[in-house]
Amino acid sequence: MSILNHKISVGIDGKQLFSFKSLKLHQSINNHHRFELLLDLEAGGNRYAHNLKDSAKWIGKSFAVYAGEKSETTFMGVVTGVSLHRKNSDFGHILVSGYSETYRLETDLNFNSWTGCTLADIIKEMTSKAGVSARINPEYTEKLDYVCQYNESDFTFIKRLALQYNEWLYYDGIDLVFGRPVHLPDAVKLEFGTSLSSLDIGVKALAKPAKVFSYHSLNDQTIAAETPNKPTDKDQLGYEAFQASLEMYRNPARQYALPRIHYTSEMTRYVRKKQEAATAESHYVLGQSETATLVTGSVVDLKSSFLERAGSLTSESLGEFFITEITHTVGEDSYYSNTFKAIPAVVDTLPEPEVEMPVAEPQMARVTRNDDKFGHGRVQVQMNWQTEKMSTDWLRVMAPDGGSSDQVKSNRGFVFIPEVGDQVLVGFRHGDPNRPYVMGSLFNGTTGAGGGKENITKTIVTRSGHTLAFNDMENGNWGITLKDAKGNVFHMDTKGSSINITAPQTITLNAANIMLNASNKIGLQSSSVSKDGTKNGVIEMAALKTVSLKSDTEDIKISAESKGIGLKAQTGISSESDTLSLNSRISSLDTKEHLKIQADGVNMDGGSSMKISSSDTDII
């Protein structure tokens, strides 16, 4: 169908339609494009049809617009709606509606995640799966630690990535463009008074200062930067509007960075790109033309001309502009026109997409790894919706107390890292799904046993069975027990006011000084049993220098119930007291060489008899 020499035609499912009543196509950056095509009933197959039997088959089929002298394809879309309208005695008409090919990315709300991928990797994966042709050239090329699509359609998620990293995003009628193209298309010359039927030029106060911050936990570094407040990508009118806006808004806003920031250079880039995007429309133009080949992403070279006086035509170049929004209209009178909005083509960053940041809520996950290669006690988890090889990156674990001090460089506080397979609760800083952390662990029906009847028991139990148990049952085993998997036990018996230490093998006390103080009694008892069932308990006291037994007010008694007491020394044994008494049924003193008894007086009383014998005896 040729319309006032503009040669616009349409096609559905690869078949060209030779006539239509009207067409409206709205295109804008950062969004799907939408079209409405009004057809006579015959175009659906039969003007006498009572329903949509034939035209209903167009749902999901491709839609194309051809324009220009060469009938080039300027738009590809997909049919999403077909309706039949009748009124009075009219045969009626068919309304075909749909969106650009990008609508194939408008999936149901979805969860997905990536680790160690670039923006280009993610966009390529999503567009390939959807069958959407794309030209991908993001400015930000670093690998991302972790990116999460959170309860969003694929296209909404792509818009959010464009917002967070200030990347170009638009559909040019054929391809989805993500990232600034290497080359913009050649400019189409438009002149007010000839090819432009209307022209509006405007400026807006959009520049606002901001202080932006982010935190990088691996380096314990707060990264902050201020917007540069210098219009480096503006034409003259845009520059003046930028400067005037900063005079209006002098108080910088405090904000956190939407993407995760690792380096100061990243933050510098982010605040610059953010301000460029916010001020991209500081200078804009609105125009109306009859050039049917214009689309979003087209560049137009605008010129203003008019008669200053009879015989004198004045003109001025307005510069080159990038079309951000355009609406094509073919009315029932077969007249074509378009209205467009454009910004200076010198801009480095397009206006931000209007998309809400998702707010992530706490959710359950399973620990998949806890072998943090940097030794910072972080874990990787897999949330319930993360399937196959999906997981988070390394997450910090919340603790009741944690940090460092002058004396303790690391691990001051509670250090309890979840085990692999544990169920944990995950929270999100700023509600950002890209910033998860572990809030704590959760018991479930197979791992939780509770605190017993009346909740009397509180415990800390490690993977191997080491246990610290607090028992609050005052009429029962009231106390505190520390035990390990081998049976070593330290029990504080609160009810019995006693402490019991048990070891299957050895208890060793090492200190510069050890004091045992008892108001009543200190008892040492060994009761091990030999193989034949007899007790062979042994108590040994040893020291490198001195072993002292001292009693301030009472006697020290050493007794052996069935055997003797032996005293052995390398050099000598001495006893010192006011009185030395040796009482036994039989007493003997035996030396290998000499026995010397010396005193001021010696009394020896033999009772009924006394015998002294030797090979040589002298009594003087």
Tell whether 423 and 460 lie within a shared domain. no
Cβ neighbours of residue 551 under 8 Å, at least 6 residues apart?
A: none
Instruction: Name the least confident of 16-25, 94-103, 265-274, 604-613.
Output: 604-613
Give φ, ψ of 130 to 5 degrees.
-85, -15
pLDDT value of position 349: 96
Q: How buried is residue 429: exposed, middle or buried, by Cβ count under 10 Å (0-12/13-18/19+)?
A: middle
Euclidean distance between CA atoms 403 and 406, whole angstroms? 11
Euclidean distance between CA atoms 243 and 230, whole angstroms? 8
Contacts 24+ apart (CB under 8 A), 567-574: none
* Domain extent for 433: 360-385+392-399+415-446
pLDDT at 600 over 90: no
Phi-psi domain of 189 (left: phi exceeds 0; alpha: psi -120 through 50; beta: other): beta
Euclidean distance between CA atoms 169 and 30, whole angstroms? 5
- Which H or E element spans position 65? strand 62-67
Tell whether 440 and 493 lie within a shared domain. no
Structural domain contains residue 343: no
pLDDT value of position 113: 98
33, 25 contact by CB (below 8 A): yes
Mean pLDDT of the chain: 89
Tell whether 90 and 23 lie within a shared domain. yes
pLDDT value of position 44: 54
* Mean pLDDT, range 87-97, rounded to an integer: 78
* Mean pLDDT, range 74-90, rounded to an integer: 86
Tell whether 429 and 483 lie within a shared domain. no
Residue 238 DSSP SS3: helix
Tens of pLDDT along 219-262? 999 999 999 999 888 999 999 999 999 999 999 999 999 999 99
Structural domain contains residue 285: no
**Which of 72, 104, 136 is the endpoint of a domain?**
104
Structure-model confidence comparison of residues 570 and 480, the more confident one: 480
Q: How buried is residue 62: exposed, middle or buried, by Cβ count under 10 Å (0-12/13-18/19+)?
A: middle
What angle, rounded to 10 degrees, do the helices at 154-165 and 119-130 form?
Answer: 160
Bridge partners of 148?
A: 113
CATH of the domain at 39: 2.30.300.10
What is the percent of the chain where pLDDT is above 90?
A: 68
DSSP state, 35?
E
Tens of pLDDT along 138-197? 999 999 999 999 999 999 999 999 999 999 999 999 999 999 999 999 999 999 988 999
pLDDT value of position 1: 38
The residue type at 496: G
Q: Encoding tokens for residue 350?
A: 């397009």
Give φ, ψ of 341 to 5 degrees.
-125, 140
Strand arrangement, sheet containing 363-369: 380-383, 363-369, 423-428, 436-442
Structural domain contains residue 309: no
Structural domain contains residue 232: yes
The model's pTM: 0.84
Tens of pLDDT along 539-556? 777 777 777 777 777 777
DSSP letters spanning 76-119 = EEEEEEEEEE--TT---EEEEEEEEGGGGG--SSEEEEEEEE-H
Place 517 in a pLDDT band, splitting at 50, 70 and 90. Answer: confident
Place 525 in a pLDDT band, splitting at 50, 70 and 90. Answer: confident
Tell whether 20 and 64 lie within a shared domain. yes
Structural domain contains residue 316: no
Structural domain contains residue 478: yes
Euclidean distance between CA atoms 367 and 381, whole angstroms? 4
Structural domain contains residue 542: no
Counting the structural domains of the chain, the total is 4
**Which of 278, 311, 334 is the endpoint of a domain?**
278
Euclidean distance between CA atoms 613 and 371, whole angstroms? 85
Tell whether 19 and 68 lie within a shared domain. yes
Cβ neighbours of residue 354 under 8 Å, at least 6 residues apart?
A: 30
Residue 465 DSSP SS3: coil
Tell whether 458 and 419 lie within a shared domain. no
Residue reference for tokens 């090889």: 389
* Beta strand extents in 160-258 (DSSP E only): 169-171, 176-178, 188-192, 196-203, 210-216, 221-226, 253-256
Euclidean distance between CA atoms 392 and 404, whole angstroms? 27
Tens of pLDDT along 154-166? 999 999 999 999 9
Tell whether 466 and 442 lie within a shared domain. no
Tell whether 461 and 378 lie within a shared domain. no
pLDDT at 458 over 80: yes
Cβ neighbours of residue 240 under 8 Å, at least 6 residues apart?
A: 203
Structural domain contains residue 272: yes
CATH of the domain at 436: 2.40.50.230
pLDDT at 207 over 70: yes
pLDDT value of position 2: 40
Tens of pLDDT along 361-420? 999 999 999 999 999 999 999 999 999 889 999 999 999 999 999 999 999 999 999 999
Tell whether 430 and 472 lie within a shared domain. no
Burial 191-219 (b: 16+ CB within 10 A, else e): bbeebbeebeeebebbbbbbebebbeeee
Output the CA torsion sign for 396, 397, 403, 407.
negative
**Which of 256, 278, 300 is the endpoint of a domain?**
278
Cβ neighbours of residue 56 under 8 Å, at least 6 residues apart?
A: 82
pLDDT value of position 609: 63
Tell whether 464 and 489 lie within a shared domain. yes
Tens of pLDDT along 488-508? 999 999 999 999 999 999 999
Tell whether 216 and 262 lie within a shared domain. yes
